[in-house]
Amino acid sequence: MLATARRWDIFCAVIDNFGDIGICWRLSRQLAAEQGIAVRLWVDDLASFNKICPQVDINQTQQNIAGVTIMLWSANTDWQASGIASVVVEALACNVPMPYQQLMAQQDIKPLWLNLEYLSAESWVEGCHALPSPQPHLALDKYFFFPGFTAGTGGLLQEANLQQLGAQFLADASAQQQFWQQLGVDNYGYYQQKISLFAYDHPQIQSLLACWQQPDINTLCLVPEGALANQLMQLYPQLKQHGELIINTLTLKVLPFMPQDDYDKLLFACDINFVRGEDSVIRAHWAAKPFIWQIYRQAEQAHLDKLQAFMQRYCAQMPEDVADNLQEFWLAWNTNSQLEHSWQKCSAKLAQIAEYNRYWRTALTANGDLASNLVHFVEKKFIMRRNFS
């Protein structure tokens, strides 16, 4: 891309522990690896970052990993000394520090300022995507950039080789065996059904676990560390003590935090993926296995409007009976409803959901990936500046 647009600063305030930094870290790595961009990722919580990227040294204010310069963002940061990038991205509702904004406004050639928003399937997103927002306090414009599920948005994060790597992994029995052993599962072939369960707590979780204790199906349920894992360890002290528990034909196993690339493999390796928030649901799309999304909870059930908007878009081409059963369970999972009856209906459609998800993945891929779409937007803006300045 244009040399004048090759230096990017991405700001990430870690709000929900891992989703925000997970997205920013994937984006930063992809921009560096695939676009040759010099990225500085400013993060205010290196301890949370370390959970998903063990190479991060929480005691260093500056370090380089995977071609990305990682900077600690704190009250002591000397913004004057750090310098200003050509492209500035404030990610997921964080705010660029005011001293940095003031330095941006003082530049002869103003940086391009982007507000990378949260993911939404709501119809209004397309109308706001890529629009400028003049700032009242400084002579700067900020542009809204929305990830999304249509060509009228910025698309979703997806590395160029992700689907190829997933297919290679699924075709390599030795690689799968090594992966499962790494997770402490030596007899992975014993299980006819493997479920990843990354979720917030749910008051009716035991009714769902009861569904996974069918006498003729051995089920492995892998629960990454988090709110639901904590709930299950309270319900089952043996799970907390040993990290694993067998209930009839169901084996529960708590997983420690894993690097992002390993989590991606988990989604490809399992038959059903329960995901939460934003980062993990995007990865579930690319695995194309049946997935259940638990959207980030908001006050007064406001998140259900966003969930309904996504389900309407996601299920638009799905057979009506499949869509009805899937949506019934998704709504139960995102409220405090009883789960057994709706899961039985949804699980009867898993094969059709898996087939549909491969079609859905192809449709999303056609929209382009978020990193490339960001770069194209930046290039266009810098070319316009050059031509009209």
**Which residue in 44, 159, 264, 278 is the catalytic one?**
278
Asked about 278 being catalytic, the answer comes back as yes
d(CA 221, CA 251): 6
Q: Of 46, 40, 41, 49, whose CA–CA distance to 18 is shortest?
A: 49
The H or E element spanning position 190 is: none
d(CA 254, CA 381): 47
β-bridge pairing 68-72 and 62-65: antiparallel
Per-residue DSSP letters for 336-383? T---HHHHHHHHTTHHHHHHHHHHHHHHHHTT-BHHHHHHHHHHHHHH
Half-sphere exposure of 134 (CA within 13 A, CB side): 2
Q: Computed from CA positions of residues 116, 117, 119, 122, in that sequence, does the dihedral angle turn out positive or negative?
A: negative
Judged by DSSP in three states, 287 sits in: helix
H helices present in 243-302, as ranges? 260-269, 279-287
**Which residue in 20, 117, 159, 279 is the catalytic one?**
20
Identity at 157, one-letter amino acid code: L
d(CA 112, CA 120): 23
Asked about 122 being catalytic, the answer comes back as no
Sheet containing 272-276: order of strands: 244-247, 250-255, 219-224, 193-197, 272-276, 291-294
Catalytic residues: 20, 278
